[in-house]
Amino acid sequence: MADRDRDRDPDRNQPQEIQLLHPPPHYRQTGPSTTQIVAVLTLLPVGGSLLALAALTLTGTLIGLSIAIPLFIIFSPVIVPATIAISMAVAGFLSSGAFGLTGLSSLNYGLKRMIRANAGAGVGKGQAKRGMWDMVGYVGQKTKDVGQNMENKAHEGGGAVRT
């Protein structure tokens, strides 16, 4: 009872109100901020229109498939080989491009590395290119030697099997 009397103002017989200029540090706002509300209100029409476009696209796709499936069945003896040929041609072009880019990038990397390695010795670009071509020639010669070696071994092994 004494605690209750201490909390009340003796003149008014009402509870005291404490005004805080700043909320305490443990106090957190539980509702969304105005920027979040504006973001949601802005994104609702965008999301709705994109959802409508998705529905229209799905409907058009289903209608197109219902028309195209009978045609695919009728013309499948022509379409299947044509599809295989076209896909093989596309794969060939793509792999050719990938191999070409890989080769060019590896040559570029080797040239830059050789230039950097010889930069302290005052080697110019022309000498670096010659060194690169010398290295390419050396690798080519080694490849030929290994191929010749394998061919000689195959002939030696093949002669032993025949006798």
Q: Beta-carbon neighbour count of residue 107 at 10 Å? A: 12
For 38-82, the pLDDT digits (tens) are: 888 888 888 888 899 999 999 999 999 999 889 888 888 888 888
Q: CB neighbours (10 Å) of residue 128?
A: 20
Specify whether the CB–CB gap between 8 and 14 falls below 8 A: yes
Tens of each residue's pLDDT in the chain, 163 residues? 555 555 555 555 555 666 656 655 565 667 778 888 888 888 888 888 889 999 999 999 999 999 988 988 888 888 888 889 999 999 999 999 899 888 888 888 887 887 777 666 555 667 777 877 888 888 778 888 888 888 777 777 654 444 3
Distance CA 88, CA 65 (A): 25
Q: Does the global pTM surpass 0.75?
A: no
φ and ψ at 152, to 5 degrees?
A: -60, -45
